[in-house]
Each structure stands twice: as C-alpha cells, then as structure tokens.
C-alpha cells in the first residue's frame, strides 16, 4: 500500500485558474451592470433636462415670433405645457420615455419618435460604416507597425497617424468633396437619395465619403493604441515560447498576440463608436445629410427643446449601452478576467 504524506505540499493551481469566468459570476455581473446602466441613465436624464431648462429664451416666444402678443405667447405655452413647474415637466418626460411616448415636436408638430427613427436610418448606418473602416485601418496599421518596430514602415505609418489625429474631420470632408466630387466627379457633393429611391447601393455610395471623413481621425487614434498594446504583449514570455516552439511570426502575431492586446483596443473602440453616433453633427452639415446630428442642430436653432432633449438622451443611452457591451466582451476576449470583477 502506498503511504500518503498529508504534510507534503499540495500543487498550487496556475495563477489564472481562479480567474476563469464561472457561470455563477454572470448573473451577479449582469445585475451589477444593469443597475449601473439604470442609475447612469437616470443621472443623465436629470443633467440633460436641467441644463436645457436653464438656457435663456422662451420656446413659445420664438415659435410665435417677436411681434406676437403676450396673450398669444401665454396661450401657446399652456398648449405646449411650458407653464407647468419644471419638476412636473421632468417627471412627465421621464414617464413618457418609459412608456414610449416622447411627445410632439414644437416646430414640426409631429411625434418626436417618428423624427428620430427617420433620422436614425441614416446616422446608424453612417456610424457603422465609419466604425468598420476605423477598425480595419487601425488593426492593419497598428499590427504592421508593431511587427516592424523602429523600421521605416513603422516610422512612416506613425507619422501618418499623427497627421490624421491633427486633421479636423470637417476639413478632411471638404478635401474629399473637392477631390472626389468636384474634380473627379465620382461621388455626389452632398445629399442623401434615400434607401428606397436608389436602393442600398445608392445609399452606400452617398455615405461613403462621410464615413471616410469620420473614420480617418478615429483610425489614426486607434492605430496608435493598437501598436502600443501589441508591442507590450510581444514582450511577454509566452510569445517567446511560441516562437521557440517553431510557430511562425505571423501565426504568433495573429493567434496569440492580437487577442491578448485587444482589451485596451476594444475599450477605445466602444468609446469611438459612441462618439461616432454622437459626433456626426458637423459632418452631416458638411455633406447636407438629413441625419440625427442635423436634426439636433436644427432643433437647437429653432428652440425645439423637446426634440433636443430626447435626442441627447438617446445618444447618452447609446453611449451607456455600448460601454455595457464592451464590458461583456472583456470576458470573451480574455478568459482570465473574472466576470464579477469587471
């Protein structure tokens, strides 16, 4: 019979063994993130409402014109509910959002949700196209620059990304219009034919230049972050071990290095996508696109605060939801990350 020594030291598990995401962690993680999401949206609604509330100007007076009588202005204010106390209007607005009723536009006299949905059919595809271009360009440039560290290719690409970071997207949009619309006549200088009139191909062609102008700056930033993250991972011991076992440089780079380097990259990608959804106002005005950004710009000019309030709240919700999705992706990309610790 074999004697077992109870005093012998037991083998310790690997450092990463206790950090694998267990199924029991996920309900707690989801509950924590959902509560954080709700609290963040509630705080955002308070900030959005009260910031717009303290802005100078009377929406009823602007709609009626400067020559309107005080009685007419007061009657319109009562019709729009602007004479109610601010707290009551805030609670009514929040209850409407929860119930799906965003109210009617002061200027267009149509439901706000119809205006928003109509504009989102342009803004969301534009942001998705720009994000796809950003991701492809950034990963290719960042990985190539890191794999050719301190070589002419690395230096040249990083100089190009520095220029891309410094270029405002609206200025680059004007350059694209001058080159491809005015001189080469390959694309339209602006406008959007719609998805039904000319089909998806016509809509894609109309959004290509705006997407490129949005993607250049974001891709330059993300490429530099990708390069730094890949360089840091390439110095790890397991990368040298993989190379010592005969794995090719390319296979090591794409199978082992890139996945472990994606944690900071995915974080920035989530923030960039939220920024693309919220930051299309200038580009949409340059290309005269009837998107959500242009709707916000026009509503601010017309003092249509109910449209501005709901659009800004929608953008805030998109940012929070994107960050929530990024947190979920952590455990998928890096199994060492414990779900309850995110």
Tens of pLDDT, residues 31-74: 777 888 888 888 988 888 888 777 766 667 666 767 777 777 77
Q: Is the pLDDT of residue 19 over 70?
A: no
The answer to whether position 334 is within a domain reads yes
Q: What is the pLDDT of residue 133?
A: 92
Number of structural domains found in the chain: 1
Task: Band the pLDDT of 198: cuts 50, 70, 90.
Answer: low
The answer to whether position 8 is within a domain reads no
DSSP string, 132-180: HHHHHHHHHHHHHHHHTTTSHHHHHHHHHHHHHHHS-HHHHHHHHIIII
The answer to whether position 301 is within a domain reads yes
Residue 111 DSSP code? B
CATH of the domain at 251: 1.10.3720.10
The answer to whether position 264 is within a domain reads yes
This prediction has a pTM of: 0.75
Alpha helices, H only, the chain: 25-53, 59-64, 70-80, 86-99, 112-147, 152-166, 169-176, 199-234, 237-244, 249-252, 258-278, 281-286, 292-301, 305-333
Q: Using one digit for the tens of pLDDT, what is the confidence trace for 228-267?
A: 888 888 777 777 787 787 777 777 777 778 777 877 888 7
Domain with 34 in it: 23-63+79-341
The answer to whether position 18 is within a domain reads no
Q: What is the pLDDT of residue 21?
A: 43
The answer to whether position 71 is within a domain reads no
The answer to whether position 315 is within a domain reads yes
The answer to whether position 74 is within a domain reads no
Task: Band the pLDDT of 148: cuts 50, 70, 90.
Answer: confident
Q: What is the pLDDT of residue 52?
A: 79
């Amino acid at each position: 019979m074999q004697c077992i020594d109870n005093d012998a030291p037991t083998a310790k598990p690997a450092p990463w063994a206790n950090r694998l995401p267990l199924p029991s962690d996920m309900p707690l993680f989801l509950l924590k993130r959902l509560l954080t999401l709700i609290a963040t949206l509630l705080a955002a609604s308070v900030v959005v409402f009260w910031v717009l509330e303290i802005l100078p100007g009377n929406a009823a007076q602007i709609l009626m014109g400067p020559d309107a009588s005080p009685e007419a202005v007061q009657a319109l204010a009562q019709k729009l509910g602007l004479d109610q106390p601010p707290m009551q209007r805030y609670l009514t607005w929040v209850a409407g959002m929860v119930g799906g009723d965003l109210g009617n536009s002061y200027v267009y006299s149509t439901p706000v949700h119809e205006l928003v949905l109509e504009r989102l059919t342009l803004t969301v595809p534009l942001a998705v196209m720009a994000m796809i271009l950003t991701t492809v360009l950034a990963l290719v440039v960042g990985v190539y620059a890191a794999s050719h560290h301190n070589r002419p290719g690395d230096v040249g690409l990083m100089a190009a990304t520095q220029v891309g970071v410094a270029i405002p997207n609206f200025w680059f949009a004007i350059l694209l219009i001058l080159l491809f619309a005015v001189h080469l006549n390959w694309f339209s200088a602006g406008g959007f034919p719609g998805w039904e009139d000319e089909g998806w191909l016509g809509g894609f062609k109309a959004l290509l230049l705006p997407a490129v102008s949005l993607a250049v700056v974001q891709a330059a930033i993300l490429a530099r972050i990708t390069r730094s993250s890949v360089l840091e991972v390439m110095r790890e011991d397991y990368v040298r071990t993989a190379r010592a076992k005969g794995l090719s440089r390319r296979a090591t780079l794409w199978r082992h290095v890139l996945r472990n380097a994606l944690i900071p990259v995915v974080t920035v990608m989530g923030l960039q996508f939220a920024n693309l959804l919220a930051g299309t106002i200038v580009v949409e005005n340059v290309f005269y696109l009837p998107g959500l950004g242009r709707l916000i710009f026009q509503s601010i000019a017309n003092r249509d605060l109910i449209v501005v309030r709901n659009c800004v709240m929608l953008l805030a919700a998109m940012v929070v939801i994107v960050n929530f999705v990024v947190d979920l992706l952590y455990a998928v990309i890096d199994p060492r990350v414990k779900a309850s610790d995110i």
